[in-house]
């Protein structure tokens, strides 16, 4: 990818939505699956924190993160990096995302951030429907999943947005 792709959704609004869904925690905690997490849903086991990120946050090591936690600015910085990574993974896996309107881009980004792009790619019927601009079917397929039973009202909100093209 050459980096010229432009997503239509507002990244700042998305980060605020993520805070509403994922929460913002400045100390390391275990998520619902027992995975060490910090900030706005940063998975410390799968993604961790890079040396560059530790540097930016003025943290000498991961031990310091576990011991002292991070600042709100650090959490926002990590979230922006996470959003960038998820965006790139999603566009690589499904270039059609670039052609979606801002609301539907937000929906698939939200899902990708929540479950990871590899898991989201397994929603084959949903993706087939999106490719054919059949958003009513895509919305139905979103709810026909284990993910929907896990996230409950969040899935209903996202499914409605996929269906109607508005939140």
Q: Which pTM does this prediction carry?
A: 0.85
d(CA 16, CA 32): 21
**Using one digit for the tens of pLDDT, what is the confidence trace for 7-45?**
899 998 899 988 987 789 999 999 888 999 999 999 999
* Nearest Cα residue to 11 out of 38, 35, 45, 40: 40
Task: Give the chain's end-to-end CA distance (angstroms, integer).
Answer: 30
**Secondary structure E strands in the chain:** 25-30, 36-39, 42-43
Q: For residue range 58-111, list pLDDT tens digits in order.
A: 999 999 999 999 999 999 999 999 999 999 999 999 999 999 999 999 999 999
């Amino acid at each position: 990818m050459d980096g010229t792709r432009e997503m239509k959704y507002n990244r700042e609004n998305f980060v605020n939505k993520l805070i509403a869904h994922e929460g913002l925690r400045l100390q390391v905690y275990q998520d619902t699956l027992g995975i060490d997490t910090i900030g706005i849903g940063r998975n410390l086991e799968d993604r961790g924190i890079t040396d560059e990120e530790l540097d930016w946050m003025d943290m000498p090591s991961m031990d310091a993160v576990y011991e002292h936690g991070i600042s709100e600015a650090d959490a926002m910085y990590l979230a922006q990096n996470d959003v960038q990574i998820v965006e790139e993974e999603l566009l690589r896996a499904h270039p059609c995302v670039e052609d979606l309107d801002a609301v539907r881009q937000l929906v698939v980004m939200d899902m990708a951030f929540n479950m990871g792009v590899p898991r989201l790619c397994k929603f084959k019927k949903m993706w087939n429907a999106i490719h054919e601009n059949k958003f009513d079917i895509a919305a139905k397929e979103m709810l026909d999943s284990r993910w929907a039973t896990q996230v409950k009202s969040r899935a209903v909100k996202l499914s409605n947005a996929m269906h109607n093209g508005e939140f």
